[in-house]
Structure 1
Amino acid sequence: MQTEVAVVGGGLAGALAATMLGRAGHDVVIVDPHEVYPPDFRCEKLEQGHMAVLRRCGVADAILRNATHTGELWIARFGRIVDKVPFDQFGLAYERLVNTVRAEIPASVRVCRTFVDGVTPGADGAQVRLADGRTITARLVVLASGPNWTLRQALGLTRDLVSPCHSITVGFDLEPAGGGDFAFPGLQYNPERSSEGMAYLSLFRIGRTMRANLFLYQPLKSPWLKSFREDPDAALAVLMPRLSRVIGPSRVVGPVKVRPTDLHEMHDPVRPGVVLVGDAFATPCPATGTGSLKVFTDVERLCNTHIPRWLSTPGMGTEKIGAYYADPAKTACDAMSVARAYELRALTLGTGPVWEARRYMRFGLRLLRWGLRSLVPSLPARRTEREADDAPKSASPVR
């Protein structure tokens, strides 16, 4: 089988690449074993900065039709609301996000429902070996296989584990203990004590469900995580004893999902005829909210800018592939994601009077702004994505 572009992996990055390239009229084959993308605990919320990139990818409207939108974020700490700010959030389960993008793939894109055994790079034609014995020869292979390392290792790529278990994400549903509904549209609850290793709790809506994502800096076998698995309601009360003052009595419902994240550093990813996107290139820290932004930026730059240029001339050598990895928008997004990963961890875990002062200063300034707006209603709220210490168009938490 021959094609211009073979996309390996039908997750978020692969489905988005196949959609964009197919719509642009390129000959595309996507390889993924799943007819329907299965449940997976990954990104569950998009924010206003993500949508700006998705509009350039051409899929924003489809995602908006399937997501739950809220336009205001309440921010709380120490058992009290410290701010209410206009902030667009769009909640949807990861598998629904992926399947929504998959539904946008044009009928012209050929689909191979099988696994990939290996990828062989080549400037004059890369090859994808399928588990069913077939081989795809493509001018370009877009490797969108997520965090699975097997295919990348076979390409001779290497990486260093620079921060094992850098963060842990815990996902669960929350409901009012007495029935009814919560009063807030979306809420971010910041930690009460730095000693607990809690980054923040994000509460947002998916349909009628209040979804919770709790971000931690703890060992995977920490005593608190063990207690949470055994009795989640009691464990939350220990971690955030004053949370109920803000949201009222509540209880955890449904299954609890825990996802640890390691940070790696990739070495020399340039291979002729093969390009890596999304988590196949680098896994970001979910606590920073930059993971989806990285995926969208990778695919948008690759499919809107680089691939059309590459296919207009013969060959697919390293000078072409290297241009993508050096793309200013991609490198800026990558650098921001890495910086955020370490900044948020340091702000959460840092000890001593300087770090304590930084945390309390953020709390005090936000409380002051909230108080001033209460006295002067015409005073505009400061949008969370433009906080002085937060990158524009990121989903970084607000302190």
Structure 2
Amino acid sequence: MRPWLTVGAWIMTVDGTVTEPIDTAGTSTIVADIAIVGGGLAGSLAAAVLARAGHRIALIEKRAVHPDEFRVEKIGGHQLELLRKLGFFNALEKVACRYDQVLNIREGKVVDVSVGQAYGFSYADLVAMARSQIPASSSLIVDEVTAISGSDDAQHLELASGRCVTARLVVLATGMAAALGYKLGIKRRILAERHSVSFGFTIARQDGRPFDFEALTCYGERTADGIDYLSLFPVRAGMRANLFMFRDPTDPIMRELRREPEATVLRLLPGLRTYLGDFRVIDRVQNWVMDLTVVEGHLQPGIVLIGDAFQTNCPAAGTGVARLLVDVDRLCTEYAPKWLATPGMGLEKISQFYSDRDKLAADQQSLKMARFRQALTSRNDIGWDVRRRLHFLRRSLTHRVDQMHPGWIGRVRGALRA
């Protein structure tokens, strides 16, 4: 099936294998059921779920191939269950590296071992995977939305190329980019400015041999360092490192981590030396400074925000992907299909998504975990010092008991849940 024809730019089939010049005799208006603005992970997953259900989707993204940004790089636990529910799990396995054990250490000593299926990948590969699941009858429109005008019935999007898109519903999946939302009167309220700093890079042993662990997490040793943990896990390029910190982004240590990452990491986490040996960073060191924010003025007819476009997350808390998947699941499998079945797209419909119980719980849990990780890492008052010691002591004792009596802890937890 041929993609929609448009004027003045390029249009691509979603698998990226076909690029067609625009037929200048075609129409300059694209008509869809749902227009999704933003082709990152949130937008691409949403487009795939909705298109597979038979809805006409216009996925609008200014980049034909998503760049390899430092974003989501690992998935595990409940996140895998959500991916499986949404129908992406098999595709994930083809682009990711699986690991089943994580060695957790602090001050050079083993705290415990996490057991459970998890996957490491590059963000660009994950986005490409999501886009590959969009039926070939749908198209990725490589363009930029410059304005949106809406009503209770239809929404009109103006594109930089001069084209227009008309849809009943607009999904903003623009991440932390706020310009388009600002034009709509949607503003971001900062809950915690410069809440955390994250670094991402890939490492390898100097001798070329594999590391002696599948994956490893090393927790910070001193509150003054502001280090939550360093997570090491396999990706196609090697052993990926994600370092999460609660520290002033202007601190000189940030520059040192970019210029001399090997020496700086070992100085901050000396207990790592035994496990890493002689290693080197084999790619560019990337970093993010994250504000915790939530939007205001977002309840508008015909427009809904998902993922980071609605609320940002603390990367150290690991709740961002879960929140995103909950948004995609609830909007694309529950609300959007129901809304399209009846006339209109007014506030009474849009508000149903924002007040969804599962969405609210995921949003609130994300903020709760963000504050907890920061306090557990950085607070140095007596109360949090005791809590921190008990946290790691409880984990260590549980691990020792499970080593002496394998499976005992799991059976107890299962009995308590029953």
Letter in 1 for 2:154: G
Question: What's the offset of the Cα at 1:380?
Answer: 4.6
Aligned-residue offset at 1:247: 3.4
Gaps of at least 5 residues in structure 2 are 1-29
The equivalent position to 1:297 in structure 2, one of 310, 326, 331, is 326
After TM superposition, give the deviation of residue 148 of structure 1 in Å.
0.7
**2:347 is matched with which residue?**
318
- Aligned pair in 2 of structure 1 residues 149, 383: CA closer, same or farther (>3 Å)? farther
For the pair 1:11 / 2:40, whether they are aligned, the reply is yes
CA shift at 1:252, angstroms? 2.4
Q: Structure 2 counterpart of 1:199, which letter?
A: D
Secondary structure of 1:212's aligned partner? strand
| 1:39 CA displacement | 1.4
2:210 is matched with 181
Match of residue 339 from structure 1: 368
- Are the aligned partners of 1:76 and 1:246 in contact in 2 as well (CA < 8 Å)? no
The Cα of 1:383 is off from its aligned counterpart by: 12
C-alpha separation in 2, matches of 1:241 and 1:182: 17
2:279 aligned to which of 250, 263, 275: 250
Report 1 or 2 for greater relative contact order, CA contacts < 8 Å, sequence distance ≥ 6.
Answer: 1
> Partner amino acid for 2:369?
R
Q: Please tell me whether the aligned partners of residues 51 and 134 of structure 2 are also in contact (alpha carbons under 8 angstroms).
A: yes
**More deviation, 363-372/68-77:** 363-372
Q: Deviations over 1:18-44 (max 9, x none)?
A: 111111111111111222212111001
Farther off after superposition, 130-139 or 227-236: 227-236
SS of equivalent to 1:363:
helix
Task: Give the TM-score, by structure 1 length.
Answer: 0.93
**Residue 382 of structure 1, CA deviation:** 9.1
Q: 1:278 aligns with which of 304, 307, 311?
A: 307
Contact 2:185 2:297 in 1 (8 A): no
Q: Supply the distance in 1 between the matched residues of 2:212 and 2:402 (Cα, whole angstroms).
A: 20
Going from structure 1 to structure 2, the CA distance change for 1:56 and 1:163 (only over 3 Å counts) comes to: same
Structure 2 CA distance, aligned partners of 1:251 and 1:382? 42
Using the alignment, how far apart are the partners of 1:259 and 1:273 within structure 2?
Answer: 32
Tell me, in whole angstroms, the C-alpha distance in 1 between the residues paired with 2:288 and 2:313: 13
Normalised TM-score (structure 2) = 0.89
- Report what 2:138 is aligned to: 109
Q: Contact conserved, 1:35 with 1:113, CA < 8 A, in 2?
A: yes
Match of 1:396 in 2: none
| Contact 1:85–1:381 (8 Å) recurs in 2 | no
Deviation sequence 1:216-267 (CA, Å, 0-9, x none)? 0111121211222222122112101121123333332221001111111322
Q: String of CA shifts for 1:183-236, please: whole Å, max 9, x gaps.
A: 111111111111100011101000361100000011112121122222212211
1:348 offset after TM fit, Å? Answer: 0.8
Q: 1:268 to 1:77 in 2, by over 3 A?
A: same
Relative to structure 1, the CA distance from residue 267 to residue 208 in structure 2 (aligned partners, 3 Å threshold; closer, same or farther) is: closer
Question: What is the aligned partner in structure 2 of residue 234 from structure 1?
Answer: 263
Share of identical aligned residues, percent? 37
Deviations 1:346-387 (CA, angstroms, capped at 9, x unpaired): 111111222111111122222222323333345456999x9x
Contact 1:86 1:383 in 2 (8 A): no
The alignment yields a C-alpha RMSD, in angstroms, of 2.0
| Aligned equivalents of 2:112, 2:378: Cα separation in 1 | 24
8 Å CA contact retained: 1:159, 1:267? yes
Q: Distance in 2 between matches of 1:382 and 1:201?
A: 30
Is the Cα–Cα contact under 8 Å of residues 80 and 246 in structure 1 kept in the other structure?
A: no
> Is contact 1:126-1:137 (8 Å) kept?
yes
Amino acid at match of 2:111: V
How many residue pairs end up in the alignment?
Answer: 387
User: Aligned match of 1:126 in 155, 178, 181?
Assistant: 155
2:173 to 115, 129, 144: 144
Whether contact under 8 Å (1:87, 1:383) holds in the other structure is no
Shift of 1:268: 3.2
Alpha-carbon spacing, 1:367–1:313, altered in 2? closer, same or farther (3 Å): same
Structure 1: unaligned runs, 5 residues or longer = 393-399
Do residues 96 (structure 1) and 125 (structure 2) align? Answer: yes
**SS where residue 105 of structure 2 aligns?**
strand
Which is worse superposed, 242-251 or 20-29? Answer: 242-251
1:86 alignment counterpart = 115
Alignment of 1:58 with 2:87, yes or no, is yes
1:397 corresponds to which residue?
none
Closer/same/farther in 2, CA of residues 377 and 320 from structure 1, 3 Å limit? closer
